[in-house]
Amino acid sequence: MSSSATGGHRLNGRVAIVGASLAGLRAAEALRHKGFRGKLTLIGDESYEPYDRPPLSKQVLTGYALAGQTALPRLRPLDAEWRLGAAAVGLDPTRQRVHLADGHEVGFDRLLIATGVRARPWANQAEAALDGVCVLRTRDHAARLRQYLAAKPQRVLIIGAGFIGCEIASACRELGLPVTVVDRGGAPLENALGGAIGAWAATLQRQHGVDLRCGVTVTELAGDGSGRLRRAHLSDGTVLDIDVAVAALGSIRNTEWLHDSGLAADSAWGVTCDTHCRVFDLNGVVTEHIFAAGDVARFPHPRYDFEFLAVEHWSNAVTQAEVAAHNIICAPSRRRPHLAVPTFWSAQFGTNIKSVGVARFADEVVITQGSVDEHRFIAAYGRRGRLVAAVTVNQGMWLEFFERLIADSAPFPPPAPGFDQPAGVRPIPAGFRNPGVPPHEPGAIGYAPSERRAVFAPPGKYRNEFREIPPRRCQVNTQ
């Protein structure tokens, strides 16, 4: 690509990318594709070259692929310096340096933060350390869980019925393993798709032999004398005999290394940026040389009343990385906003679930096509008379159609497709619990009047006030 396409700007110099996974790799490739000729450094704390995570909860668990066979395809040569197995532990935005755990520093002119998220572990550390207790985020996690499943455990317990938990349960059933799914909410996928569609997901799981228990929590994981997991105690008094438990409790954003950087970064929110992917500092002032993309980023979306979205999905990581790469090297007047309507897919229990838009934003849902009983339908989501999302179940070919309607701010209920329409359906409440409240406890920002700047509050200082006034913040993923 010619330099005029980027405004003839900033094609040299040093770009550092922290986080060498999907968003980091795709941004690096886009930079080279757009003509960046300068020094490119990718820093990643994992020792592996970038790999794909979606197969980890699907093909890897069922044994169709090995964890080591999930490398991301390379779209073009990079000519980059790779610093793998090197965690970033600090950032000095003024001196423009990233500090690494091994004591080295990497200088940059422009920086992309793409450090993603990690799995939220089981909170009790002694119980989490029992042989048989797992999480799933990385290639190593998947290899370990696959080993446990291949040993044919008597029962697997999944704690949390978000997308990851449901996909693991599906893999267990495909392997013929007895599995119990426990979720404190009312239905599987409820946080992401609402209680109405969650009720369908519950039926699907039970039809596939999952022992699904909603409205209960796990109070204790208990081991034997050798430290092997043996039992789970539930809040309703039930005791389950199990040998494997997977904590599928959502994620924590990898932002600790930014703690003293003065950037608006927190493990609950992620890294806050504008639609140009430029990161805000703590005072809400946008930086010119630090960008963010992928699961770690949180950005305002005009289609969703400019609410800040944290979208932990594959396609967002790719599109946001590409926009960030463009904006990193183009002239300021040529910058592009990241405005893509979020999409994701999931495969579980023989169904293909796809989504476009932000269902979590909706107050109502209606089935526009197909049959819920046959696990073949489209659910359209609306908010105050406007279409905001659609979820397709084994009807993925309709996704683009609904994406266009959402982009055009179509009314809700959307225009009837004219065929395959179920009789007598009306919009019903989408069934999101407490939609304005983020699922994780947010951090707190204070204000230092004497210095006229914002500061992170010391632990506990502002927490009570903050809880009473939950900000309207939209969390898209609930994996």
Ligand X SMILES: Cc1cc2nc3c(=O)[nH]c(=O)nc-3n(C[C@H](O)[C@H](O)[C@H](O)COP(=O)(O)OP(=O)(O)OC[C@H]3O[C@@H](n4cnc5c(N)ncnc54)[C@H](O)[C@@H]3O)c2cc1C
Q: What residue ranges bind ligand X (CB under 6 A)?
A: 18-19, 21-24, 43-46, 53-54, 56-57, 87-88, 114-117, 136-137, 164, 254, 257, 294-295, 312-314, 317, 344-346
Q: Which 3 state secondary structure label does DSSP give 58?
A: coil
Smallest gap, in angstroms, from Cβ of residue 246 to ligand X?
11
In the chain, the amino acid numbered 299 is: F
Q: Among 8, 88, 14, 16, which Cα is nearest to 46's?
A: 88
Of 170 and 254, which CB lies nearer to ligand X in the complex structure? 254
Nearer to ligand X, 246 or 380 (CB): 246
Cβ 35 to ligand X, closest distance in Å? 23
| Residue closer to ligand X (CB basis): 6 or 346 | 346
Continuous H helices in 69-221: 125-128, 139-150, 163-174, 190-207
Q: CB of residue 81 vs ligand X: minimum separation in angstroms?
A: 14
Nearer to ligand X, 54 or 178 (CB): 54
Supply the minimum distance, in Å, between the C-beta of residue 399 and ligand X. 12
Residue with smaller CB distance to ligand X, 153 or 294: 294
* DSSP, residue by residue, 173-187: HHTT--EEEEESSSS
- Residue 289's nearest CA partner among 38, 115, 88, 111 is 111
What distance in Å separates the CA atoms of residue 152 and residue 157, rounded to the nearest whole number? 13
For ligand X, the closer CB: 23 or 399:
23
Residue among 243, 242, 195 at smallest CA distance from 478 = 195
| DSSP result, 340-408 | PPPEEEEEETTEEEEEEE-GGG-SEEEEEEEETTTTEEEEEEEETTEEEEEEEES-GGGHHHHHHHHHT
CA distance 10 to 8: 7
Closest separation in Å from C-beta 19 to ligand X: 3
Of the pair 71, 222, the CB lying nearest ligand X is at: 71
Q: Nearest approach, Cβ of 420 to ligand X (angstroms)?
A: 26
Sequence-distant (6+) residues with CB within 8 A of 460 are none
Closer of 87 and 182 to ligand X (Cβ): 87
How far, in Å, CA of 39 to CA of 108, rounded?
9
Of 57 and 395, which CB lies nearer to ligand X in the complex structure? 57
Q: Is 277 left (phi over 0), alpha (psi -120 to 50) or beta?
A: left
Of the pair 6, 479, the CB lying nearest ligand X is at 479
Axis crossing angle, helix 22-33 with helix 314-329, rounded to the nearest 10: 40
Residue 168 Cβ, how far from ligand X at the closest point, in Å? 8
CA of 83: how far to CAs of 40, 104, 253, 258, in Å?
11, 10, 21, 18
Instruction: For the CB of residue 182, give the shortest distance to ligand X in the complex, in Å.
Output: 19
Which CB sits closer to ligand X, 114 or 282? 114
- Residues 351 and 394: beta-carbon distance below 8 Å: yes
Nearest approach, Cβ of residue 332 and ligand X (Å):
25
CA distances (Å), origin 292, targets 45, 297, 364, 407 = 17, 6, 32, 24
Residue 366 or 391: the one with the smaller Cβ distance to ligand X is 391
| DSSP code at position 28 | H
Q: How many CA atoms lie within 13 A of 117 on its CB side?
A: 32
In the complex, least distance from residue 314 CB atom to ligand X, rounded to whole angstroms:
4
| Distance in Å, CB of 115 to ligand X, minimum | 4
- Minimal distance in Å, beta carbon 472 to ligand X? 23
> H or E stretch including 320?
helix 314-329
Task: Give the integer Cα–Cα distance in Å for 136 and 116.
Answer: 14
Q: Contact, 271 vs 308, CB < 8 A? A: no
